[in-house]
Structure 1
């Protein structure tokens, strides 16, 4: 598994198929933000602003899920290979 370093020191995500992501708390209990092309639903806590995950549609039309691994317990980010991602140029 590899990490996408989306915003250095702020957000590192693992992108998977939505079926492989199991939510303990329903997404309906969180706020959702969509911007630009509205293809990604960024879910976040309305109280603290933490953005733990999002669901969307990839460039080939496939459904995707991104999980902010910085929100998970006992994850050593230094042990995972990183893939730099320049979202500004997309």
Structure 2
């Protein structure tokens, strides 16, 4: 496991965040939302994620079981992260690796998660 500190943002910069992530443990998901977005995701515990700016510029989308809060910028529409609960009930943030500075998501080897069947 190689956890590093990363900075990320939406396209217009209205929403910015920092997170401690292990990019050796990324996933892609085939659920109806993630597949359409083309997200590459990395998990951070709630205490390893910090929203730097833009809380007032986020809007939320809920679907299916309404358990994951998909948050995206009201201005440019980019979803940088989603909030939910881990299997143990702790706060968890799934970061869209495509929004991280200095990271090439296409160079990663994500695990395929079958979200369509959940």
After TM superposition, the score normalised by the length of structure 1 is 0.83
Unaligned runs of 5+ in 2: 1-21, 30-34
Unaligned runs of 5+ in 1: none
The yes-or-no answer on 1:44 pairing with 2:72 is: yes
Q: Given that residues 27 and 43 in structure 1 are in contact (C-alpha distance below 8 angstroms), is that contact kept between their aligned partners in structure 2?
A: no
Q: 1:22 aligns to what?
A: 50
- Rounded to whole Å, the distance in 1 between the matches of 2:73 and 2:101 is 17
**Paired residues, number:** 90
Report how far residue 26 of structure 1 moved.
3.8
Segments of 4+ moved more than 6 angstroms? none
Q: Given that residues 69 and 83 in structure 2 are in contact (C-alpha distance below 8 angstroms), is that contact kept between their aligned partners in structure 1?
A: yes
After TM superposition, the score normalised by the length of structure 2 is 0.66
| Deviations, residues 7-54 of structure 1 (Å, cap 9, x unaligned) | 387211111101101112143321111122221111101222211011
CA 1:8–1:85 in 2, change beyond 3 Å: closer, same or farther? farther
Name the SS for the 1:49 alignment partner. Answer: coil
Q: Given that residues 59 and 74 in structure 2 are in contact (C-alpha distance below 8 angstroms), is that contact kept between their aligned partners in structure 1?
A: yes
Higher strand share: 2
